[in-house]
Structure 1
Amino acid sequence: MRVLVIGAGIGGLCLAQGLRRAGIDVRVYEREESAEARYQGFRIGIGGLGLEALRECLPPRLHPVLEASTGEISGERPMVDEQLREIRQLGAMHGGTATDRHVLRHLLMAGLADRIEFGKRFVRYTELEDGTVRAEFADGTGATGDLLVGADGGNSPVRRQLLPDAEVVTIDGNGVLGRTPLTERFAGLVPGFGTVVNGPGTRMLLGKMEFRRPPHLAAAELAPDVELPETGSYLRWAAFLPDPAGPRPADWEGVRDLLLAHMAGWHPDLVELVRQSDVVNSSVLTVRYAKPVPHWGTGPVTLLGDAVHVMPPSGGMGANTAFRDAALLCRELAAVRRGEAGLRTAVERYEREMLEYGFAAVAQSLEQLPTFAPSSWTVGAR
């Protein structure tokens, strides 16, 4: 059995690690030219079933590296005004784990160098008469496998071909995602799990990414064959501006200045947090969610993670749900390899369970969105 994975994000790579552990031939195809080709995200929270699923797929020898290169997120969640005066408490959360998406992606690539091909932009797939599927790429090459998994994100070309009527909604509003190196001054802005700043017309979410150990040093000691980025601890923040907030500049400096204009008169620590943002690792933020889809009838093509159930970040469940998808699909395909189930039966079991909990997570994230986004934002298509 050969599995083709379209997309080398953290969901697709988690799946590849699990399949490799199960002895299943897996190949990953990524449209970017390298793992360093572009800005790759921000701090994410992992925990509960998502963390269990990630550990299930990751080789045990890498578990200590995962532990060392993450950070704890725990404690109170205050909501404050633009002068950092407490408005109310949102309720404490304990036992959470934070990781940097870029660092985690590199960890998930460990041992997969011979199974990942970069510079492969997926164009289309063709179901063949013998029940297999062929993926075609923009460079004129192709690959054939028994199952093709679209793990290619919220703009998934695989989903567009498989489910042309599936809807992904962009929520009206202007979002900004920033990252600022962690200093003693900024650390005080997040005394616990996270902080919500409810300012006039603008709301900010603040979260700390404080590594237990520098990731590259942890890897060098615990798994010398693994190279992790030299990423320092930082404070991750997201700002949600009223819509319309005027034209959104294409460059980060312009976006930052637009946000700073909305923050006139705010507490100096918040203003300086934005002013000192990391240009390379900050960007505009588009918030989207997928509308539920019925089961489509199992074939040699399926979907995973944001490619099927993209959701707002308000629930903190996007990555965790993708890891659940990966572990579940690995278990089902491992049963096929052991001769305990047919491929189509196993994939259908995966799809039906994944659709149920995946879109439940989308609904939960939408329910939590009003806590974090301004009331001017609307849940509507555009």
Structure 2
Amino acid sequence: MKVTVIGAGLGGLCLAQGLRGAGVEVEVYERDRDVHGRFQGYRIGLGDLGLDALRACLPERLHGLLDATTGSLSGSRENYGPGLEFAGSRPPMTATAVDRQVLRQLLLTGVDVRFGKRLSAHQVLDDGRVRAVFADGSATEADLLVGADGINSAVRAQLSPDVRPEDTGVRCVIGRTPLTDRFAALVPGFGAGVSDGEVMLMIGLMRFRRPPREAGAELGVTLPDVGDYARWVLMPAPEQEELSPRDTVLAAIEGWHPDVRALVEAADPEHTSWLSIRVVRPGARWPLGPVTLLGDAIHATSPSGGNGANTALYDARRLRDLLAEPGVNLLDAVDTYETAMFSYGAQAVEHSVAALDQFLPGRRAA
């Protein structure tokens, strides 16, 4: 069996790692020009669902490196007013902090990725195999094509053209700031929110157990040279297109506590950006065949749900497990995967959309 994966994000690479470990031939095609083609994101929180999937798919020699380059998230989620006056707590949570860029580099280890390959179309052949054609004129054939190419999936556009990203209408600004004791004190537990009743600045910490570059070097794995940081998000972001993302946040939190403003002022400008929150709802199933979808390509969630990466990684594990079964019938495996994925994927999207309100003070008050 040969599997072609379109997209070298977390879900696609997790699947590739799992298939490699199971002895299944797999190749990955990515439209970015190289591994550093674009910034890969910020801190995310993984629960048991995502962590178990990673451990199941990663080779054992990388398990210790995964542990070393993650961090712990636990405790209550404190709410404060703009002067950092205490305004209550939300229930405690526990998760594992993961930096997207570090995790992606880890997942790339040993995987055959062809960069600079933008998918143009796919064709199911008479023998039941599938052919992927790329913008540069090259092509490849496989027994299964997996679209793991994100919210703007080219595979989905052909496979299920009626399913399109939906704009929630919410914009935010996201950024990260090198961590200091001053900024760490803003987040005594799992996370913190500072709000004036109109906007909310959410703050979370990424503390690595070990510096990723140092930990990776011991195994000959090249990881980003990134230190501990505070990740923050302003929701909803005011419509001030004439301002930079950072200046938009500073204008929105004018008069707030000096520590909060200093957090934003010290942010890395290259890693401070606008984000329009969009989702993808799975919709109706396409006819069963040798093409399927994974992760954001079919069930993109709002980040407010905290379940996007977890669900994509779970997709990868489920599909790997089914394809690796002895004597597997490919279409039966795809059918079993899609039947479950459409159900839990849709639930993940709806959960994430419902969770948006708790981070939108103006909407909640209305």
Give the TM bin, normalised by the shorter chain.
Answer: over 0.9
How far, CA to CA, are the matches of 2:124 and 2:268 in structure 1? 45
1:226-274 deviation digits (Å, cap 9, x = unpaired):
11111111000111135xx33425xxx7121122111110111111111
Amino acid at match of 1:344: L
1:201 to 182, 198, 201: 198
How far, CA to CA, are the matches of 1:143 and 1:50 in structure 2? 30
1:375 is paired with a residue whose SS is: helix
Q: CA deviation at 1:295?
A: 2.3
How far, CA to CA, are the matches of 2:345 and 2:41 in structure 1? 21
How far, CA to CA, are the matches of 1:282 and 1:143 in structure 2? 38
Q: Report the counterpart of residue 189 of structure 2 in structure 1.
A: 192
Q: CA deviation at 1:39?
A: 1.3
1:233 to 221, 228, 231: 228
- Report if the CA contact (8 A) 1:149-1:301 is conserved: yes
- Report if the CA contact (8 A) 2:33-2:116 is conserved: yes
Q: Calculate percent identity across the aligned residue pairs.
A: 50
- Report if the CA contact (8 A) 1:159-1:307 is conserved: yes
How far, CA to CA, are the matches of 1:215 and 1:326 in structure 2? 24
TM normalised by structure 2 equals 0.97
Amino acid at match of 2:262: E
Asked if residue 356 in structure 1 is aligned to residue 343 in structure 2, the reply is: yes
How far, CA to CA, are the matches of 2:254 and 2:197 in structure 1? 10
Q: Report the counterpart of residue 211 of structure 2 in structure 1.
A: 214
Misfit runs of 4+, over 3 Å:
374-377
Provide structure 2 residue ranges, at least 5 long, that are not aligned to the other structure. Answer: none
Worse-matched range after superposition: 275-284 or 19-28: 275-284
- Report if the CA contact (8 A) 1:82-1:200 is conserved: no
- Report if the CA contact (8 A) 1:12-1:151 is conserved: yes
- Report if the CA contact (8 A) 2:282-2:345 is conserved: no
1:217 is paired with a residue whose SS is: helix
Q: Report the counterpart of residue 248 of structure 1 in structure 2.
A: 241
1:117 to 114, 122, 145: 114
How far, CA to CA, are the matches of 1:4 and 1:226 in structure 2? 24
TM normalised by structure 1 equals 0.93
Provide structure 1 residue ranges, at least 5 long, that are not aligned to the other structure. Answer: 378-382
Amino acid at match of 1:372: F
Q: CA deviation at 1:167?
A: 3.3
Q: Report the counterpart of residue 380 of structure 1 in structure 2.
A: none
Root mean square deviation, CA, Å:
1.3
Amino acid at match of 2:77: R
Amino acid at match of 1:368: A
Asked if residue 345 in structure 1 is aligned to residue 332 in structure 2, the reply is: yes
2:271 is paired with a residue whose SS is: coil
Asked if residue 155 in structure 1 is aligned to residue 144 in structure 2, the reply is: no
- Report if the CA contact (8 A) 1:206-1:236 is conserved: yes
Residues 127-138 of structure 1: matches in 2 within 5 Å? 127-138=124-135
1:60-82 deviation digits (Å, cap 9, x = unpaired):
11000000000000011011111
- Report if the CA contact (8 A) 1:39-1:280 is conserved: no
Q: CA deviation at 1:297?
A: 2.3
